[in-house]
Amino acid sequence: MLGVLAGFFVVWAIILVGMFVGRRNILGENARSVLSALTFFVASPALLFETLSKAKLHDVVAAPLLVTAVGAMVTATLFFVIVRFLLKRTVPESLMSSMSASLANSANLGIPIAVYVLGDASYVAPLLIFQLAFFTPLFLMALDATTSAHRTTPGRFVLMILKNPMIVGSALGLVVAGTGWQVPELVMQPIHLIGGAAIPAMLIAFGMSLNGARPLQGAAGRRLDTLLASAFKLVIHPAIAYVFARMLGMEGHALFAVVVTSALPTAQNVFVAASRYRTGLTVAKDTVLITTVVAVPAMIGVALLLT
């Protein structure tokens, strides 16, 4: 238990450094976007490749992936029914709110939590793979079908998935793990060094993003939606994952890992999608902020219950 708490302390310490750096504007106006781009396009793919190339495929793609998929889809479906039929929101807004309630921040916070709290970045791989290769495209296709502003063909979605650097890094790592090929040390060393930049850069950029935001403004009129989405993301989603994982016979650290990754906060790219489709902006923005602030204490609660 002390090791888990120490891991959370490390994560929050670096986030606080990022908040300080952002508040003081030490790195300039565009620092957060530069750090985010560095982690997304360069460092995170390297880290995922190195980690997954040494992983056991059964531990990555079997029960954890199934629990991840079921937990997210059940959470999204339940929330969609509530906001569409009880709160009477439009279909596009209901889809976007459901995305806010079920799509986790698997990269910027998920990878650091996996490394420092769970002990291995491979624990977040099922979540990354499911969300990037299936769950997010599924939501975007549904939004395309219910709005007139954008139309995207299935072929373009496949191309978008294949061009995602974290999907490419993960896929190559899984291929290496599956074939048993040993990557030459001369090649792996620079990959290791580049991947080492991912976590500190992620968390500093993440901390910088927390400055100045104020959720739940009364004028926006979506407080109930936001609070419900936040509760679903931090409580209902991990609870569903826990129940299903227990049904599959998971226990111990494997059970702890799938529940913790399900309790990750709402992904920041939900707000990007809301901006693109011009629907659910308030719920997306506020849910990202609230779950981001509350997620680490919530995951500490999960740790106290399961360890």
pLDDT, tens digit, 9 for 90 and up, residues 158-208: 776 677 787 788 889 888 988 889 899 999 999 999 998 888 887 888 788
Least Cα distance to 198 among 113, 80, 141 occurs for 113
Whole-prediction pTM: 0.79
- Helices (runs of H) and strands (runs of E) counted in the chain: 18, 0
Encode pLDDT of 68-126 as tens digits.
Answer: 999 999 999 999 999 999 999 999 999 999 999 999 988 778 888 888 888 888 888 88
Positive or negative: CA dihedral 219, 223, 229, 233: positive
For the stretch 247-302, pLDDT in tens is 999 999 999 999 999 999 998 778 768 877 888 888 988 898 889 888 878 888 88
Cα dihedral: 146, 149, 154, 160 (round 10)? -130
Report the alpha-carbon distance of residue 191 to residue 7 in Å, rounded: 24
268 versus 212: which is more confidently predicted? 268
Which CATH number goes with the domain that contains 291? 1.20.1530.20
As for how many domains the chain has, the answer is 1
pLDDT at residue 199, rounded to an integer: 83
Burial of 234 (0-12, 13-18, 19+ CB in 10 A): buried
Range of the domain at 112: 2-306
Encoding tokens for residue 129?
């793979």
Distance of CA 82 to the CA centre of its chain: 23
